[in-house]
Amino acid sequence: MIASGSRALAALVLVALLSACATSPTGRPQLQFMPDAQIRSMGVEAYREMQDAEPVLEAGPRVARVECVAEAIIPQVPDEYAGNGWEVTVFESDQVNAFALPGGKIGVYTGLLEVTENSDQLAAVIAHEIAHVMAEHANERMSTEMATALGLGALQVAAGDDPQRRRMMAVLGVGAQVGIILPFSRTHESEADEIGLGLMADAGFDPRASVALWRNMADAGDEAPPEFLSTHPSGETRIADLRAELPTAIYRYEQARAAGRRPDCAS
């Protein structure tokens, strides 16, 4: 009975894996179980809850600056990823953070505006967050966790009541967290950096500002855990990756400026 249950769960995992293949904007294979409409609905609902629960800055120069940067970047989102009703909210908070949710909902915390020294740096953050939505990282994240849970469930059934084997399964659960889920998060961050760098450049923001931005972010943050236990690449890794992408991004930036895309957002 245990063996048949294990086989059934394993078969379920296999079917899910085979039927949920997708590709990110960079060409990376992805696992996506969730319907797009459901993911967008969840993003919009979460956004509305945050607007109700957290102080919102309605107007003023900080709001104008954020809106100006976002409005310059959003038209550069390729048509196949542009089907979102983009909306920007500035939250009054000391958090040095920003986010974008499925459904095209962008949030920027005023604490971030104290760290970004100019509109180019702010553009690097907003473009990075929009890139997460373009690449459907929320769907992939949820799908990866679901597949991991299903796979570990099948192994748990196989372990039965043997205490030693169950301890091994517990260790394997930690291994899955470090070996599968966290690296996927780091992959998402690195991919969003790459996509976002191109977006900000196409909008006419200087992509070289991204390197200075992440130095500022590192100075503003607490001591980071080792990279292999973190959901984000280390600052050194992130900056090295950005530098590697800069030649292409600078070319796109120069092309955008030549085409007249020169956003004038208050710094």
Residue pLDDT tens, the chain, 267 long: 444 444 554 555 555 554 566 776 767 776 666 677 777 887 888 889 889 988 999 999 999 999 999 999 999 998 877 666 789 999 999 888 888 888 888 999 999 998 898 999 999 999 998 998 888 877 778 777 766 665 545 445 555 555 554 544 444 444 444 444 455 577 888 888 899 999 999 999 999 999 988 887 777 655 554 444 455 666 678 888 899 999 999 999 999 999 999 999 975
- In this predicted structure, what is the pLDDT of residue 133? 87
Q: Residue 103: left (phi > 0), alpha (psi -120 to 50), or beta?
A: left
- In this predicted structure, what is the pLDDT of residue 174? 47
- In this predicted structure, what is the pLDDT of residue 233? 62
- In this predicted structure, what is the pLDDT of residue 61? 94
Measured distance CA(185)–CA(165) in Å, rounded: 29
Measured distance CA(248)–CA(244) in Å, rounded: 9
- In this predicted structure, what is the pLDDT of residue 101? 83
**What's the whole-model pTM score?**
0.76
Mark out the alpha helices in 160-234 (DSSP H runs).
163-176, 182-202, 209-220
Q: Which residues are catalytic?
A: 129
The closest of 20, 4, 29 to 160, measured between CA atoms, is: 4
- In this predicted structure, what is the pLDDT of residue 186? 77
Q: Encoding tokens for residue 232? A: 């984000």
